[in-house]
Amino acid sequence: MNRSLLVNEIFLSIQGESSRAGTPCTFVRLAGCRSTCTWCDTRYAMTEGEPMSIRDIIREVDHQQTPLVEITGGEPLEQPAVHPLMQELCNRGYSVMLETGGFINVNEVDARVHKIIDIKPPSSGVSQNNCTQNILLALQAPPEQRHTWEFKIVIADRNDYNWATELLDNYSLTDHCTVMMGTVFDQLPPADLASWILHDHLNVRLQLQLHKYIWPPDMRGV
C-alpha cells in the first residue's frame, strides 16, 4: 500500500472503448509509455505524471463512487506497482479493467482483472511489437475466464482491416473472446468499417470512442 506509481490523472467518465462502453467508470491514467504509435491520442500521458501512493490512489477512486475502475495510460504495465494496485482494488470489490497497448506480456495480471489488449495494425508503426503471447494466453484461458479477455484493433484504413482479418482468422480469435474493432478518429469513417464488417460477416464488435462523441474529441479528463 505504500508503493507509489506515476499518475497522470484520475477522473470519472463514461467508459468508451470496451464491452462495458457506456458505463460510468473511474479512470486511473498512469504516466509513461515507451511505444510510439503514430496515432496515439494520449501523448500528454507519456511525460506528465506525479507520484502517488497506492493508498492515495485508492482513496481517490473511493471518492468517485463507481463500481467500475479502469487502469489505463500511457502504458500501465510499465510500472510494476500496478499489480498490487489492481489486486487491492479487486480485493475491495471493484470491477477492474486494464487497458494495455499490447506490447507487454499480461501473464502477471491478476486473473480477476478484465484485460483490454490492443493489437496494433500496420498504420500504428509498431505492429512488429505486438506481444503475440497475449493472444496465446487468451486462447488457453479456461472457459470461465474467457470473459476477462478482450482485444481491440484500431483501424485506420483498408490495409489495416485486411491485416486484422487475416490475424483473426489465423488464431480463430473471435471464437474464444470478444474482439473489438474501432477506427482512428477522423481518419476512417465508422460507416466504412461497419460496411466491411457486415460484408465479411465478421464476428467482431464495432466500437467507437464513445467519449469523443459525447465531449470534444481532444478534451482531457473524460
Q: Which residues are annotated as a binding site for Mg(2+)?
A: 42
The Cα 36–Cα 38 span in angstroms is: 6
Collapsed DSSP state (helix, strand, coil) of residue 123: helix
By CB under 6 A, tell whether 182 contacts ligand SF4. no
Which residue among 9, 70, 75, 150 contacts ligand SF4 (CB under 6 A)?
A: 75
Stretch that binds ligand SF4, among 34-42, 137-145, 172-180, 208-216 (CB under 6 A): 34-42
Q: Which residues have a Cβ under 8 Å from the Cβ of 19 and sit 6 or more positions away? A: 150, 178, 180, 205
Under a CB-based contact definition with an 8 Å cutoff, are residues 181 and 153 in contact?
A: yes
User: Would you give the binding string for ligand SF4 spanning residues 87-116, x where CB under 6 A is met?
Assistant: --------------x---------------
By CB under 6 A, tell whether 121 contacts ligand SF4. no
Q: Which residues are annotated as a binding site for S-adenosyl-L-methionine?
A: 39-41, 74
Return the number of the residue (9 or 75) whose C-beta is nearest ligand SF4: 75
Return the number of the residue (16 or 101) whose C-beta is nearest ligand SF4: 101
Of all residues in the shown chain, the one whose CB is closest to ligand SF4 is 101
Minimum distance, C-beta of residue 124 to ligand SF4, in the bound complex (Å):
7
Phi, psi of 51 (to 5 degrees): -65, 135
The Cα 135–Cα 98 span in angstroms is: 16
Count, residues near ligand SF4 per rule CB under 6 A: 10
Cis peptide leading into residue 221 (ω within 30°): no
By CB under 6 A, tell whether 40 contacts ligand SF4. yes
Phi, psi of 129 (to 5 degrees): -95, 0
The Cα 81–Cα 15 span in angstroms is: 24
Under a CB-based contact definition with an 8 Å cutoff, are residues 21 and 210 in contact?
A: yes
Return the number of the residue (21 or 90) whose C-beta is nearest ligand SF4: 21
By CB under 6 A, tell whether 49 contacts ligand SF4. no
Return the number of the residue (49 or 74) whose C-beta is nearest ligand SF4: 74
